[in-house]
Chain A
Amino acid sequence: MDSSHMPRRPRPGPFDRPAAELGHAPEGVGRMNSMGIGAPLARIEDIRLVTGNGRFANNVTVPGQLRGYVLRSPLGHARIRSIDVSGALEVPGLVAVLTGEDYARDGLGDMPCVSIPPTIKGGAYVPTPFPALAVDTVRCVGSEVAFVVAETLSAAVEAAERIVVDYEPLPVAPTLEAAIAPGAPLVWPDAPGNRCFYHELGDAAACDAAFDGAAHVVKGRIRNQRVAGNPLEPRTCIGRYDPADGRFHLTSSTANPHRLRLLLSEHIFRIPAHRIHVVAGDVGGGFGTKGGLYPEEILVLWAAWRVGRPVKWVCERSEAFLADFNGRDQIADAEMALDADGRVLGLRVEVNHNLGSALGPSTAHPPLVGTRMLSGVYAFPAMHVKINGIFTNSRTLTTYRGAGRPEATLIVERMLDLAAEKVGLDPVEIRRRNFIRPEQMPYRTAIGETYDCGEFEAVTDAALALADWDGFEARRRTSEGRGLLRGRGLSCYIEVCATLSDRMEVRFDSSGCVSILAGTFSYGQGHETTYAQMVHDWLGVPLDQIRFVQGDTDIIATGRGSFGSRSMTVGGSALRKACENLIAMGARLASLMLDVEPEALDFVDGSYVWTAGDRRSVPLTEVAKTSFAWRGSAAYNSGPPRQIPADLWSGLEGVGHFSANPQNYPNGCYVAEVEVDPETGQVRVDRIAGVDDVGTVINPLLLEGQVIGGCAQAVGQVLLEAVVHDAEGQVLSGAFTDYGMPRAEDFPHMVLSNRPVPTQTNPLGVKGGAETGTIGLPPAILSAVLDALRPLGVRDLSMPLTPMKVWAAIDAASSAPVSKENS
Chain B
Amino acid sequence: MIEVTIAVNGIEQRHQVEDRTLLVEFLRDQCGLTGTNIGCDTTQCGCCTVHVDGRAIKSCTLFAAQVDGAEVVTIEGLGQPENLHPMQAAFRRHHALQCGYCTSGMIMQGVDIVRRGRAVDEATIRHELEGNFCRCTGYQGIVEAIAEVARTAPESCKASGDAA
Binding site for B on A (CB under 8 A): 16-18, 21, 23-24, 42-43, 45-54, 56, 58-59, 230-234, 282-287, 316-318, 523-526, 701-702, 704-706, 708-713, 735-737, 741, 743-745, 747, 749-750
Binds A, one of B51-59, B64-72, B132-140, B152-160: B132-140
Q: Which of B45, B95, B133 contacts A704 (CB 8 A)?
A: B95
B117 within 8 A of A: no
B38 within 8 A of A: yes
What's the least CB distance linking B56 to chain A, in Å?
15
Tell me the bound Cα distance from A51 to B35 in angstroms.
Answer: 7
Tell me the bound Cα distance from A710 to B126 in angstroms.
Answer: 18
Q: Which of B35, B98, B135, B143 contacts A744 (CB 8 A)?
A: B143
**Using an 8 Å CB-CB cutoff, how does the interface string of B123-146 with A read, 1 for contact, 0 for none?**
101110110111111111111100
> Could you list 12 examples of A-B contacts with CB < 8 Å?
A17-B82, A52-B76, A233-B37, A233-B39, A233-B101, A706-B98, A708-B138, A711-B138, A743-B130, A744-B127, A744-B134, A749-B140
- A51 x B80 contact (CB < 8 A): yes
Q: Which of A51, A59, A706, A711 contacts B84 (CB 8 A)?
A: A51
Supplied contacts A17-B82, A42-B93, A745-B127, 6 more A-B pairs, CB within 8 Å: A18-B81, A21-B93, A54-B101, A233-B101, A318-B41, A745-B123
Closest to B80 in A: A51
Q: Which of A18, A56, A710, A747 contacts B101 (CB 8 A)?
A: A56
B4 within 8 A of A: no
- A284 x B44 contact (CB < 8 A): no
The winner among A51, A230, A286 for most chain B CB atoms within 10 A is A51
- Chain A positions within 8 Å of B93 at CB level: 21, 23-24, 42
- Chain B positions within 8 Å of A316 at CB level: 41
- Chain B positions within 8 Å of A285 at CB level: 98-99, 101, 135-136
- B95 x A702 contact (CB < 8 A): yes
The 3 closest A-B pairs by CB, nearest first: A52-B35, A284-B101, A49-B100
- B101 x A47 contact (CB < 8 A): no
CB contacts under 8 Å to A, within B57-109, are 74-76, 78-82, 84, 88-89, 91-95, 97-104, 107
- B80 x A45 contact (CB < 8 A): no
- B99 x A282 contact (CB < 8 A): yes
Tell me the bound Cα distance from A56 to B141 in angstroms.
Answer: 22
- A741 x B82 contact (CB < 8 A): no
B17 within 8 A of A: no
B6 within 8 A of A: no
- A287 x B135 contact (CB < 8 A): yes
Tell me the bound Cα distance from A423 to B9 in angstroms.
Answer: 67
- B143 x A54 contact (CB < 8 A): no
B33 within 8 A of A: yes
Tell me the bound Cα distance from A708 to B75 in angstroms.
Answer: 26
- B139 x A524 contact (CB < 8 A): no
- B44 x A54 contact (CB < 8 A): no
- Chain A positions within 8 Å of B129 at CB level: 743-745
**A-B pairs with beta carbons under 8 A, tally:** 193
- B138 x A712 contact (CB < 8 A): yes
- A50 x B136 contact (CB < 8 A): no
- Chain A positions within 8 Å of B16 at CB level: none
Q: Which of A42, A47, A54, A56 contacts B95 (CB 8 A)?
A: A42
- A51 x B79 contact (CB < 8 A): yes
Q: Which of B88, B95, B123, B140 contacts A43 (CB 8 A)?
A: B95
What's the least CB distance linking A689 to chain B, in Å?
13
B47 within 8 A of A: yes
- B99 x A705 contact (CB < 8 A): no
- Chain A positions within 8 Å of B33 at CB level: 52
CB contacts under 8 Å to A, within B8-46, are 28, 33-42, 44-45
- A231 x B135 contact (CB < 8 A): yes
Tell me the bound Cα distance from A284 to B94 in angstroms.
Answer: 19
- Chain A positions within 8 Å of B107 at CB level: 50
Closest to A230 in B: B135
- Chain A positions within 8 Å of B74 at CB level: 52
What's the least CB distance linking B12 to chain A, in Å?
20
B3 within 8 A of A: no
- B137 x A46 contact (CB < 8 A): no
- B92 x A47 contact (CB < 8 A): yes
- Chain B positions within 8 Å of A230 at CB level: 135
- Chain A positions within 8 Å of B138 at CB level: 708-712, 747, 750
Number of residues from B at the complex interface, CB < 8 A: 59
What's the least CB distance linking B83 to chain A, in Å?
9
- Chain B positions within 8 Å of A232 at CB level: 37, 39, 45, 47, 99, 101-102, 133-136
Which DSSP category, helix, strand, loop or mixed, fits chain A's interface?
Answer: loop
- Chain B positions within 8 Å of A747 at CB level: 126, 138-140
Tell me the bound Cα distance from A46 to B34 in angstroms.
Answer: 16
Whether A18 touches B82, Cβ cut-off 8 Å, given contacts A24-B144, A52-B75, is yes
Q: Which of B94, B98, B127 contacts A526 (CB 8 A)?
A: B98
What's the least CB distance linking B128 to chain A, in Å?
8
Closest to A50 in B: B88
- Chain A positions within 8 Å of B139 at CB level: 712, 743-744, 747
- A18 x B84 contact (CB < 8 A): yes
Tell me the bound Cα distance from A575 to B140 in angstroms.
Answer: 31
Closest to B100 in A: A49
- B39 x A317 contact (CB < 8 A): yes
- A705 x B137 contact (CB < 8 A): yes
Tell me the bound Cα distance from A749 to B125 in angstroms.
Answer: 12
The winner among B100, B141, B143 for most chain A CB atoms within 10 A is B100
Whether A708 touches B40, Cβ cut-off 8 Å, given contacts A233-B99, A287-B135, is no
Tell me the bound Cα distance from A705 to B97 in angstroms.
Answer: 9
- B81 x A54 contact (CB < 8 A): no
- Chain A positions within 8 Å of B39 at CB level: 232-234, 317
What's the least CB distance linking A11 to chain B, in Å?
14
- A709 x B82 contact (CB < 8 A): no
- A736 x B136 contact (CB < 8 A): no
Closest to B140 in A: A708
What's the least CB distance linking A692 to chain B, in Å?
15
Whether A56 touches B37, Cβ cut-off 8 Å, given contacts A46-B97, A708-B137, A709-B98, is yes
Tell me the bound Cα distance from A21 to B90 in angstroms.
Answer: 12
Closest to A45 in B: B100
- Chain B positions within 8 Å of A53 at CB level: 35, 81
- Chain B positions within 8 Å of A737 at CB level: 42, 44
Tell me the bound Cα distance from A158 to B74 in angstroms.
Answer: 32
What's the least CB distance linking B110 to chain A, in Å?
11
Whether A52 touches B34, Cβ cut-off 8 Å, given contacts A46-B91, A702-B95, is yes
- Chain A positions within 8 Å of B36 at CB level: 52
Closest to B82 in A: A18
Closest to B20 in A: A154
Tell me the bound Cα distance from A48 to B41 in angstroms.
Answer: 25
What's the least CB distance linking A588 to chain B, in Å?
39
Tell me the bound Cα distance from A590 to B44 in angstroms.
Answer: 59
What's the least CB distance linking B11 to chain A, in Å?
15
What's the least CB distance linking A199 to chain B, in Å?
32
- Chain B positions within 8 Å of A50 at CB level: 75, 79, 84, 88-89, 91-92, 97, 100, 103, 107
Tell me the bound Cα distance from A282 to B95 in angstroms.
Answer: 17
- B126 x A523 contact (CB < 8 A): no
Tell me the bound Cα distance from A708 to B97 in angstroms.
Answer: 12
- Chain A positions within 8 Å of B75 at CB level: 50-52
Tell me the bound Cα distance from A704 to B96 in angstroms.
Answer: 11
Closest to B146 in A: A744
What's the least CB distance linking B126 to chain A, in Å?
4
Closest to B74 in A: A52
Tell me the bound Cα distance from A285 to B99 in angstroms.
Answer: 5
- Chain B positions within 8 Å of A749 at CB level: 122, 140, 143
Whether A750 touches B133, Cβ cut-off 8 Å, given contacts A232-B39, A704-B95, is no
Whether A51 touches B37, Cβ cut-off 8 Å, given contacts A24-B144, A702-B95, A705-B95, is no
Q: Which of B42, B80, B125 contacts A736 (CB 8 A)?
A: B42
Whether A51 touches B100, Cβ cut-off 8 Å, given contacts A735-B41, A744-B142, A750-B138, is no
- Chain B positions within 8 Å of A282 at CB level: 99-100
- A317 x B40 contact (CB < 8 A): yes
Closest to B33 in A: A52
